[in-house]
Every structure is written in structure tokens, then in C-alpha cells.
């Protein structure tokens, strides 16, 4: 469904239809499909480039605030890295045993059926993904303009306009070329690691020179807040979120049995190493009080260590955000593509550009909602509503791994983890969900209610075969007309070497 082929009567086309433009020479058997262009390096860049966003540069103080001491905050950073690695290894098994793109949606679909998978998809489509993309984009707009307006504040309308440009450019890039999307992601990932190195190297240099006063009494028992540790872990797990994005593009990974586990392990080791050393560098230069008082920790650090060069830090933060935007969009557009292929979204979202081999419609579907949320409403409160749903459904997906060990014991598992790893991780996810319900019952309750609207939506759009007569009549009149217009459109534009869609499935 939705793949472009030569549109001739011999292969199911219609007489008079113009043949499709010549396909790329490497197209296998003339079939238009998503290519396996994600190598090990590109897979690592997707994971690292998505995990490392604005958080480590702007505000790591949430962990310090809730853990109560410098030493305990570093322990939390390490522990969250290990827990995230457990989740990533669980997803490595899922990704190698179920070699379909789509991530959470696909694994929940395989383990627990279409209704649970559709509810996850519905929450993603209407709120989680557009809101998350909008927040990352707003951080990009804020920090890309920071050097221009320093020392004054950046006007809000300028931030939103720059954000709109950033989102549009990411959408365009992902629509035009998978190869260039991955190449730019690799470049942005290296720029993020360079930015972190700019923080780590001078910080460790000062540490080796003897600047250790901020680490004295690092584990002072009186300062440790046991009641706040769950919240500290919640912040830490959020900072590491993104290790699952390679599983959204499994079908495009070269040799996924080896590439997926290797990319995940290498990426998580690099990210955990960078996060811990970055925080050590922060504490070397700033006291706990100074870090808690800062609104942008990396900018404060650069101001104390680098003088005029500190103006480059906002640029690196902006590039980091752009990389996260690019990686996120590349990954979850494939989830919508797979959901369309499974019949849970309109079939146009599973169509692939005949020459560029990108799921163009699946890339663009979030654009209107994301831009809309930039200019109206409080998207940060929406993220609060939905943040617990992320961990609820990830926990459900990992629980599905355990469930399928017993219900589908003969499933091929090229990469298999010890059962205690998914058990510990799923328990952690459900504990964080319980904590959210306890600490913020109103917002999480609203988020849960929004997700439950997926149940009637599932029955209205998926289950019910009998539709009102007026709707059947409307579809009966509209689809043939739509087909004629689309065929005319494709014939006209193919002559000009632009877009072509195979529309034989519309009748």
C-alpha cells in the first residue's frame, strides 16, 4: 500500500495514465520503499543526537535540588544512565526480534493488540509529539537569537518566528532526503559532543589543579533528601530520554541484528560518560548554591570560565536543539508511516515519494499542530499532562517483552537480555507513573483523560464498519473525484520531474 510503481496497464495501472518517472537505479526490483541507509555511525548519531538536547546545557539543577547534595546528584546521574541502559537493552531485544519500524507502537501492537497500540498512537498524535517538538523548537528559537540580543532579553514574537523557521527547515530536510537528514544529524551530534567537551575539558583542568572545595562533604547526610530522590530520578530519566528512537526506524537499519544493540550500547555509554563529567565540571566551577540560582547553567559556567567566548554557548545549545528536532522528527514520522500501513491512520501517511524514498506525508502530518501550539496555549502545561504517559507506555512495551517470552517462546531473538533487566526497568517506569499520580494528581489525571479519548476514537475510526448513509454517500462521491484530480496532478507534475504518488489503491 502506498508505494510507487510504474503505472502501466500491465502492472495494474489504468489506460492513459502516464508512466512513473524513472526510479533510482538501486531500487530493488522497481519497488519504492524506505531504504536501509542507517549505518552504525548514523544509528549512534540518531540516539546521541536525540538524547542530548537543551537539558544538560540549561538546567540540570532539578536533580541537585531534589537529591540534596552534590555527591548524591552524581549518583543519580549514574543510576539513571544505568536504568536507561536497561531500557535500551530491552528495546534492543524487541528491535531485533520484531524487525519493524514504529518503536513503542509496534511493540505494544505485537504484544497486546491493536486497541492498546492505537491509544498510544492517539496520545502521540494529538498531544505528546507536537508538544514535545514545539518545546524543543522553542528552546532552539530562544538560544539561536540569544547572541544577537545580548545582554537584552529576546522578544517573544522573535522567538516564535525563529522557532517556526527552525521547524519548517527540519520538516523540509526530512521530506527531501533520508541521506542528508542522517548526514546533518551526524554533524550536529559531533557539534553537541564538541560543546560538551568545551565544558568538560576546562572543568576537569580546574579539578586537577586542586579546585575541589565544592566536593567537600559531597555526601553530607543532613543534606540528602530521601523523599525527593524519586523526583530526582524522574528528572534524570527525562534527561536520558531518547534512547528508543533508533527502534522507530528499524526497517531502515543495515543489519539490525548487530547494528541496533551495538549502537544502543555505544550511545548510552557515551551519553552517561558525558553527562556525569559535565556535572563534575559544573560543580568544579560553581557551588551548589550558584548552580541552583542559575537559569542556564552552561551559560553561567561559560561566563565564569571563558569570558567573551561565552557567547558561543547559546549557539551550541541551539545546534543541540536542532539536532534533537531533526532526530525526533526522523524517528516518529516512521511510527505514523507504520501505523498507516497497519490501517490505524489514513493510508496517505504510508505513501513514499517515488524518487526521494521519504515518507513525505508522515513527515508533514505534525507540522500544522506543532506550529499551532507554538502560538496558542501553554504547551509546557500540556507536557506536564502528558509526561507520565511516556513512561506508562514505555513500561507497557517492556512488559510486553516479558509477556512474549512466555506467550511466544519460539520467536527468533538474535539479541536476548536477562529477564531481570526488563523487569527492573518496567518496575521503574510504573513507579514513576505512580509518583506522578501522587505528586500531581490533577495534571496527570487530565493527561490520562486525554489519552482515554483514544478508546472512543478507536471504535469510531477503526472498529465500526457501518457508517452513516450520508458519510458513505459522501465518500462514494469524493474518492473517485479525488482520484481523477490526483491522477491529473501527477501526470502534470511528472512531466516537470516533480512529485508522483502511486494512487491505484484509491477507488
pLDDT band (50, 70, 90) for residue 468: low
pLDDT mean over 196-208: 89
* Cell numbers standing for residue 363: 513527515
Architecture per CATH, domain 36-437, reads as: Up-down Bundle (1.20)
Report CA-CA distances (Å) from 83 to 80, 113, 247, 325, 395. 5, 27, 18, 24, 12
Q: What grid cell was written down for 341?
A: 500501513
Q: For the chain, give the percent of residues with pLDDT over 70.
A: 79
Residue spans of alpha helices (H) in 52-113: 55-58, 61-67, 70-97, 104-112
pTM: 0.77
Highest average pLDDT, of 308-317, 379-388, 389-398, 492-501, comes from 389-398
| Res 484: pLDDT | 53
Helices assigned H by DSSP within 342-419: 360-364, 367-375, 379-407
Residue 22 confidence (pLDDT) above 60 = no
H or E element at residue 490: helix 469-495
Domain positions in the chain are 1-33+465-507, 36-437
For range 474-486, the mean pLDDT: 49
Under DSSP, the state recorded for 330 is H
- Closest CA relative to residue 60, chosen from 266, 282, 371: 282
What is the Cα–Cα distance from 258 to 255, expressed in whole angstroms? 6
Residues 134-149 have pLDDT tens digits of 888 888 888 888 788 7
Q: Which of 268, 249, 219 is nearest to 78 (CA)?
A: 268
pLDDT at 83: 93
DSSP secondary structure string for all residues of 123-184: HIIIIIHHHHHHHHHHHHHHHHHHHHHTTSPPPHHHHHHHHHHHHHHHHHHHHH-HHHHHHH
Ranges of H-type helices in 408-468: 420-439, 441-452, 454-458
The per-residue pLDDT for range 426-464, each reduced to its tens digit, is: 999 998 888 777 777 777 777 788 888 888 888 887 777
Partner residues linked to 264 by β-bridges: none
pLDDT of residue 417: 93
Distance CA 203, CA 293 (A): 19
Cα–Cα distance measured from residue 45 to residue 263, given in angstroms and rounded to the nearest whole number? 9
Tens of pLDDT, residues 48-90: 988 887 778 766 878 888 888 888 889 999 999 999 999 999 9
Amino acid at each position: 500500500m502506498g508505494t510507487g510503481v510504474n503505472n502501466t496497464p500491465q502492472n495494474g495501472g489504468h489506460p492513459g495514465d502516464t508512466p512513473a518517472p524513472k526510479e533510482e537505479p538501486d531500487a530493488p526490483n522497481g519497488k519504492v520503499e524506505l531504504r536501509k541507509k542507517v549505518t552504525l555511525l548514523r544509528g549512534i548519531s540518531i540516539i546521541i543526537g536525540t538524547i542530548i538536547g537543551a537539558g544538560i546545557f540549561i538546567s540540570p539543577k532539578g536533580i541537585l535540588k531534589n537529591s540534596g547534595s552534590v555527591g548524591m546528584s552524581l549518583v543519580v546521574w549514574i543510576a539513571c544512565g544505568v536504568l536507561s541502559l536497561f531500557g535500551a537493552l530491552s528495546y534492543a531485544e524487541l528491535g531485533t526480534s520484531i524487525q519493524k519500524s514504529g518503536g513503542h507502537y509496534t511493540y505494544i501492537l505485537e504484544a497486546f493488540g491493536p486497541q492498546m497500540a492505537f491509544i498510544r498512537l492517539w496520545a502521540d498524535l494529538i498531544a505528546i509529539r507536537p508538544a514535545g517538538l514545539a518545546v524543543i523548537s522553542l528552546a532552539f528559537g530562544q538560544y539561536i537569537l540569544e547572541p544577537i540580543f545580548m545582554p537584552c532579553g529576546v522578544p517573544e514574537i522573535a522567538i516564535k518566528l525563529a522557532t517556526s523557521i527552525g521547524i519548517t527547515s527540519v520538516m523540509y530536510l526530512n521530506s527531501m532526503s533520508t541521506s542528508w537528514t542522517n548526514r546533518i544529524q551526524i554533524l550536529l551530534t559531533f557539534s553537541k559532543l564538541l560543546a560538551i567537551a568545551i565544558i568538560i575539558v576546562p572543568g576537569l583542568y580546574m579539578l586537577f589543579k586542586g579546585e575541589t572545595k565544592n566536593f567537600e562533604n559531597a555526601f553530607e547526610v543532613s543534606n540528602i533528601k530521601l523523599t525527593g530522590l524519586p523526583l530526582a530520578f524522574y528528572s534524570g530519566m527525562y534527561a536520558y530520554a531518547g534512547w528508543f528512537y533508533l527502534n522507530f526506524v528499524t526497517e531502515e537499519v543495515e543489519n539490525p541484528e548487530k547494528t541496533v544493540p551495538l549502537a544502543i550500547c555505544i550511545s548510552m555509554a557515551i551519553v552517561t560518560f558525558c553527562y556525569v563529567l559535565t556535572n563534575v565540571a559544573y560543580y568544579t566551577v560553581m557551588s551548589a548554591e550558584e548552580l541552583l540560582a542559575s537559569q542556564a547553567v552552561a551559560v553561567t559556567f561559560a561566563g565564569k570560565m571563558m569570558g567573551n567566548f561565552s557567547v558561543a554557548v547559546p549557539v551550541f545549545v541551539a545546534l543541540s536543539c536542532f539536532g534533537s528536532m531533526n532526530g525526533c522528527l526522523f524517528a516518529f514520522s516512521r511510527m505514523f508511516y507504520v501505523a498507516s500501513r497497519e490501517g490505524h491512520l489514513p493510508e496517505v501517511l504510508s505513501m513514499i515519494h517515488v524518487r526521494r524514498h521519504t515518507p513525505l506525508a508522515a513527515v508533514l502530518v505534525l507540522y500544522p499542530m506543532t506550529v499551532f501550539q507554538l502560538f496558542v496555549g501553554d504547551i509546557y502545561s500540556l507536557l506536564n499532562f502528558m509526561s507520565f504517559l511516556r513512561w506508562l507506555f514505555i513500561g507497557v512495551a517492556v512488559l510486553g517483552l516479558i509477556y512474549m517470552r512466555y506467550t511466544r517462546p519460539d520467536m527468533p531473538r538474535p539479541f536476548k537480555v536477562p529477564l531481570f533487566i526488563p523487569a527492573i526497568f518496567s518496575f521503574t517506569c510504573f513507579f514513576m507513573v505512580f509518583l506522578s499520580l501522587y505528586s500531581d494528581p490533577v495534571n496527570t489525571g487530565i493527561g490520562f483523560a486525554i489519552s482515554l479519548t483514544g478508546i472512543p476514537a478507536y471504535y469510531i475510526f477503526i472498529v465500526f464498519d457501518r457508517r452513516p448513509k450520508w458519510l458513505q454517500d459522501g465518500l462514494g462521491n469524493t474518492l473517485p473525484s479525488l482520484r481523477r484530480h490526483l491522477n491529473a496532478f501527477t501526470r502534470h507534475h511528472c512531466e516537470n520531474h516533480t512529485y508522483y504518488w502511486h494512487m491505484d489503491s484509491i477507488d
